[in-house]
Chain A
């Protein structure tokens, strides 16, 4: 089982490196070896994957407050020391690389939530979550999620913030928290949307408006969506071939090696390649769900579900956004997009997943 996930993940990584190479090899200077950095991160990720997969995930139960606190610390640090790039302050500078704490925070919150909802009664070892009232079942965990979420949205990174919220809602749904509470939360979140509109940044408003109709601003905010759709569509059935495809090769498509790497990939490999990629992602996620279902331990189960869902939601939103089916939010395609933090955290998460499956038999 461990091997299957690893192979699928590696295939995606390699396709990612190929796409990164193709979209940057013609640029001058540092751009040319950007794919080497991605290979390096892949290596580091793989290394972490093996470490984590041998490291009993139950230890995370004990460390969860520490992990949560560490995530909050990094997020706060971003505000003080963060590097501003592309108009957002999302990165922390380490020795030779930039680290994106929001990627780490996603995993941290899943661990925290899994731990929170799998606490058991001291008396009869039954799950506490079934008996949770509205405060314990909804408000308290929401506050815990809301703090890092707020910090991330303020960076600003609406995409990652919303991912946290979606994962939270899905986990709520999977635990025994009453549906009534979940719907209350949804209602509370959706009703004030018109009100929140005023708190969105101008570029976020524009992106949402442009999502509804990219042609209102074809050279500005709508440009990316239009170019991305053209790139995907022009691939046709078989694609235009690796290292060809004018959209990504001639830089009409912005962010072609990060958020819009699916469009780059799809232009070159066509419908066939795109389907294959989506299928591989689905297989990894299905594997995650299968692991969750096999696991007896509630913590492990929730953790596996959380990790699979995080992956699923990110993949879905990113690809949908590439196709113009979702608004443009700054969200990487896990394992594919250029970016060390994302690759590393995804490999660690997959490592945890594999470890859950391995440790299952111990109980």
Chain B
């Protein structure tokens, strides 16, 4: 071939190569490059909706949101950043160095706006918004933040919000949760995060090679989370919080007819706002506090029930006909069980079941317990909702524990002795219940024989769920037995020697039972469970004081609460 033909052939091949290259870029890889081109110039500026509010049963706001303002920078042109930060510093009044450090920390990539300052004042936000005309790479976005108008009120019911942790993220990733999302921790915030959660919306804007804003391409309005209405009554909750304040323990008020929790207060408590403001020293002091203020004692801790367990003994003994209403035992201050001496806290003389409940006579119940046997006591305890999870809505519920001879044999390789039965019948030993279980224990005697499932969620987004939540389980006790025990519980208050006599002065007729739990270390735990008004009970109350002294102390707290409720006309 001639040299010129070879050369023309080479030229043809060269141009075909160009066509092939063009084909490769445009047709084969066109999709990919189109995406890259878009990511070059399209920025998404997210706008958060606000998290759903948490309301009380009357629609009063317990937790809502307030607007705060964040400053973001579109970081396309990195050389200009210093200049922009310098300008920001003049308006915000914070150090350039700090701003730079924050910028560096939050920088993800050139295509993602970087947050340089959060929660700035409205005045500064307006100033910056005006300055935006000059420097369009600055973006001010409103961010709704959790706002707690009542501070620590009902904090254990509500929980708090914080940045999602790794553990939750791995579980929730598939449901659309992302890193740095704000999610609920503990309480309603965690349990119903799915409802409360807002949907992110935002602007998609076009920028040029310097990150300069060119035009808005689209806007998707953020969706607010759904409001969650609780069964709590803000006024009762306030009274309960006030009453327990300063004493370690918890207070629960419940409607015996349906299981609605009207108040649930624990102390020590915390202010969820510290997590919003990210005050790290306060947060770490919450976690390190030996009194564990973050723990919802009402459901997440269990304690020996002590004398309030005598309600179980009474119910079991009457139901199984081990005793009848005229059975009496004589209390001489102590009795022998096997070779050991078991003593009562006082000397009561001859007591029938009403007097025994009223005076909380240990001897009576040792003897009743021994007549019943441990297994029967255990079975009736479970019937009354002890020793198992009641399926309450708030997270971290514990089941408590009721021992039985079989359990002892299997797990401890030990035999069960009559002494253990005696201990169990006065609610000591290995026996543990949560304050909420204690409240549940007494409800069948308030509502005529039904065990309730306590619940706290009344409505979501305006849709009332209480009909679905209400669940009554008949305990199938004889009406006469229930009436007898109720009568005994009433005598706790009315009897001049009754352990709950402190409540007798109230204009409201209260029935209940106190308890004083022996503990290994420190002062005794104090219990009071009761219901009122006696004739037509509308409230079940449980007051528990951790290391709070004798049961009388809890009864005094209950008295204060009922008194306040009465004066405020809430009964």
Contact indicator per residue, chain A 31-54, by CB within 8 Å of chain B (1) or not (0)? 000000000000000000000000
Are B33 and A251 within 8 A (Cβ)?
no
* Most A C-beta atoms less than 10 A away, residue of B11, B18, B19: B18
A345 at the interface (CB under 8 A from B): no
**Hey, which chain A residues are within 8 Å of B12, CB to CB?**
282
Are B34 and A289 within 8 A (Cβ)?
no
**Hey, which chain B residues are within 8 Å of A278, CB to CB?**
15, 18-19, 22
**Hey, which chain A residues are within 8 Å of B33, CB to CB?**
229-230, 232-234
Given A174-B4, A250-B208, A252-B41, the answer on whether A232 and B26 have CB atoms closer than 8 Å is yes
| A247 to B208 CA separation, bound complex (whole angstroms) | 9
Are A233 and B15 within 8 A (Cβ)?
no
Are B30 and A235 within 8 A (Cβ)?
yes
B37 at the interface (CB under 8 A from A): yes
Min C-beta distance of A296 to chain B, whole Å: 14
Are A312 and B23 within 8 A (Cβ)?
no
Are A251 and B8 within 8 A (Cβ)?
no
B214 at the interface (CB under 8 A from A): yes
Contact indicator per residue, chain B 214-249, by CB within 8 Å of chain A (1) or not (0)? 100000000000000000000000000000000000
B7 at the interface (CB under 8 A from A): yes
Are A170 and B15 within 8 A (Cβ)?
no
**Hey, which chain A residues are within 8 Å of B7, CB to CB?**
170, 173-174, 305, 309
Are B15 and A246 within 8 A (Cβ)?
no
**Hey, which chain A residues are within 8 Å of B22, CB to CB?**
232, 266, 271, 274-275, 278, 323
Chain B interface residue count, CB cutoff 8 Å, equals 33
Within 8 A of A (CB), among B3-32: 3-4, 7-8, 11-12, 14-15, 17-19, 21-23, 25-27, 29-30, 32
B38 at the interface (CB under 8 A from A): yes
Within 8 A of B (CB), among A295-334: 305, 309, 312, 316, 319-320, 323, 325
B341 at the interface (CB under 8 A from A): no
B260 at the interface (CB under 8 A from A): no
**Hey, which chain B residues are within 8 Å of A289, CB to CB?**
4, 8, 11
**Hey, which chain A residues are within 8 Å of B208, CB to CB?**
250-252
Min C-beta distance of B79 to chain A, whole Å: 11
Are A281 and B15 within 8 A (Cβ)?
yes
Are A246 and B4 within 8 A (Cβ)?
no
A237 at the interface (CB under 8 A from B): yes
Contact for A271 among B8, B26, B37, B209, CB less than 8 A: B26
Are B18 and A319 within 8 A (Cβ)?
yes
Chain B residues engaging chain A, CB cutoff 8 angstroms: 3-4, 7-8, 11-12, 14-15, 17-19, 21-23, 25-27, 29-30, 32-34, 36-38, 40-41, 206-210, 214
Additional A-B contacts beyond A250-B206, A271-B30, A323-B22 (19; CB < 8 A): A174-B4, A227-B40, A230-B36, A233-B25, A234-B38, A237-B26, A246-B41, A247-B40, A250-B40, A250-B41, A250-B214, A251-B210, A252-B41, A252-B208, A266-B26, A274-B26, A275-B22, A293-B4, A323-B25
